[in-house]
Chain A
Amino acid sequence: MAVSTPPRAPAPLAAHHLTKRFGQRVALSDVSLDVRVGERLAVIGPNGAGKTTLLAILAGVLAADEGSVSRETRALGWVPQQPAVYSKLSVAENLRLFARLERVADPEAAVGRMLEQTGLRERADDELGRLSGGNRQRVNIAIGLLADPPVLLLDEPSSALDPRQRERLWELIEGQASAGTSIVFSTHIVGEAERYGDRVLVLADGELVFTGTPEDLHAQEPAAARDFEAAFVAFLRARGH
């Protein structure tokens, strides 16, 4: 099933009929999507649904076997599921390195801005290896935001974070979205998709089975659903997943 939303503004990121196989296993099958300016698109689905594969293809890390991705600009921030940072470098050194590699015009200013936004100014000189998982993830996200990209892809950014750290993380992401950054995030915490996603995209066994607002998904299973998570589970069960 391929669903696309009619564009109301130029989509900074769109994918057309993506298919990806790993050997005999089909990880993604004929998935299409587009992301609007300033939109928060949540990608949800059970484990092994193809969420990480989809984001990796959108980010340009993986190549699709079929289909294509069109990006309005090359500046596309990507935050992988596992923090992609150097544990022997300090917070500031990590940010400075990636700012230089991103060819940011003023690396030091970008580093200072990210330290402020992530609240890590006081930990700037601490080695990453000595930080908590939550703080490492904040640095991971900050690196994705260094070049101030119009589209930010986040692969399960809140996994392994405690509730307070999750709250701070989503404050940061919402701040970016309100500034016009399009956000695509995957999560296995369905409540986060309902709370922070303008639109949800449901993957199951590599297939795109739903796209729409959280309310639309909830409305698909009104009888069975006490809440959004129950509606999501019922929705998948009804479709054999």
Chain B
Amino acid sequence: MRWLLVKDVQILRRSPLLVSLLVLYPVAIALLIGLALSRGPERPRVAFLNQVPPGQSTISLGNENINAAKYASQLFQSIQPVRVRSRQEAIDAVNSGRALAALIIPSDITRKLSSGLEPGEVEVVYNGDAVKQSFVESTISSKLADANAALADKLKQVGLQDVDLLLNGGTFDLFGRSVPILGLRATRTIIAAELARLKPGSPERGALGRVDRFARLAVNNLDLSKQALATISQPVTVKRTLLHGRRTPLDAFAVAVAVTVSLMFVCVLLGAGMLALEREENAFARLVRGLVSRESLLAEKVCLSGGCAFAASLLMLVGIGAFVGLNWGRFGLWVAALAVGALAFAALGVAIGALAREVRAASLLGLLLTLPLAFLALVPSGAVAVGVYDAIRVISALFPFKPALQALDAALNDTHPGVGISLLHLAGLAVAFGTIARLSLRRFA
């Protein structure tokens, strides 16, 4: 096997164009995919739970009434709402992939917003998938920004009315009672008149008592105005709940995608091409006629393609790590994820090479098979119909891209599922594709 490896390395050294394409093509594809990740589906499906009791969807701000349903309908123009009846049902919808995320409106939101003193809070539930988070976050954040801007405008009007009341006087609605407010200007007039009329030490306490009450009320109102002004900045806030793992920054996830795509292409194209080359050069029959066993030949191709892809993708990861903040403390897990991923992809590559039997056919089949699989594996749940997504999940599980991506994402970002499960999945696929390759070699010569 050693001499076959030496021979294949010599052949690769004499094919600089092929090797360049093998490196540049995956990098270009990886960059395209990374860019594409910043855009989500037009209307992601989001589980929607409105816990506000019927008839209490109106927010009262001063003399203004705002119907919260108006903002919900605006949000529904950007998402496909999947209406659920409980928080658990919302979480189940996210877990099952029926919805991309869940948006929960708590029952006390209108009360909090009506108070004008504390922000309302909505809850968004994700499952830790960076792409899904990005799609939903951008959509919900955009719509919440619209709602916040509108509410802030109303709160500002209320604040201005309060200030006007303090300055000019009027009536203030307090617990259903209409309280007359003198106003600072009138107060000044009264005090000025009293000061002009009264001698020092005069017991005219009535007018001064009114002044005293107003002063206290004015102080209280000014305190409340401070809180109201704080609320104006963001009337509605978002509470984020992750069901699994931790939040993956999109750039770190894009790194995992880019490196996995490169790993896949180099492994599959090299493994398939180099095995098919043995037949195309008519050397296969000569080799397996007692010089090398079929198993050794497959193992050599897996070592060659997997080794080259592992080295290239590790270099790529280390290079990217210089610019993107990656957790170098998990370097051992990076290596494990890349190594087992390379093994599984290489096994897929030699299976393709054994089935196709010609270099050009093997390369074409490798591309035709792996590229759509990579894109399928990146389709977020909720972006397509449930049945279609289930089919995509099954197909993705049958090929190494999805588990390799999950393994690398977990190694880089500590996401769900963990590295161990994905590595076991990959090892199983490596055995399966290795077996397919071995069986296909029966008709190879």
Contacts and interface: CB of A to CB of B under 8 A. Distances in A.
B290 A88 contact: no
Contacts of A205: none
Interface in B263-304: 281-283, 285-292
B282 A82 contact: yes
B290 A84 contact: no
Contacts, number: 54
Nearest to B6: A97
Contacts of A93: 7, 10
Interface in B153-173: none
B3 interface: yes
Interface residues of A, number: 24
B431 interface: no
A61 B7 contact: no
Given A74-B290, A78-B289, A88-B11, A101 B3 contact: yes
A60 B290 contact: yes
Contact of A127 (B14, B281, B287, B288): B14
B1 to A, nearest CB: 10
A128 B438 CA distance: 29
Q: Kindly state the interface size class of chain B when it binds its partner.
A: 20 to 34
Contacts of B10: 88-89, 93
B189 interface: no
A67 interface: no
Nearest to A107: B3
A87 B277 CA distance: 10
A83 B282 contact: yes
Given A61-B445, A101-B292, A102-B291, A84 B15 contact: no
A166 interface: no
A86 B7 contact: yes
Nearest to A82: B282
A80 B3 contact: no
Contacts of A86: 7, 11, 281, 283
B285 A80 contact: yes
A78 B4 CA distance: 19
A143 interface: yes
Interface in B1-46: 3-4, 6-7, 10-11, 14-15
Given A88-B11, A100-B3, A61 B291 contact: no
Nearest to A81: B282
A82 B285 CA distance: 11
A220 to B, nearest CB: 35
B201 to A, nearest CB: 116
Nearest to A96: B3
A45 to B, nearest CB: 21
B16 to A, nearest CB: 11
Nearest to B12: A88
B291 A85 contact: no
B7 A97 contact: yes
A56 B7 contact: no
A84 B445 contact: no
Interface in A52-100: 56, 59-62, 74, 78, 80, 82-89, 93, 97-98, 100
Contacts of A97: 3-4, 6-7
A87 B15 CA distance: 11
Given A86-B7, A88-B10, A100-B3, A61 B289 contact: yes
Nearest to B1: A101
Nearest to A79: B286
B11 A56 contact: no
A102 B287 CA distance: 10
Contacts of B3: 97, 100-101
B285 A89 contact: no
A40 B7 CA distance: 34
A56 B285 contact: yes
Nearest to A100: B3
A230 B287 CA distance: 39
A143 B286 contact: yes
Given A101-B292, A102-B291, A88 B286 contact: no
Interface of B: 3-4, 6-7, 10-11, 14-15, 281-283, 285-292, 445
Given A61-B285, A86-B7, 6 more contacts: A60-B289, A60-B290, A61-B445, A62-B445, A88-B15, A97-B7
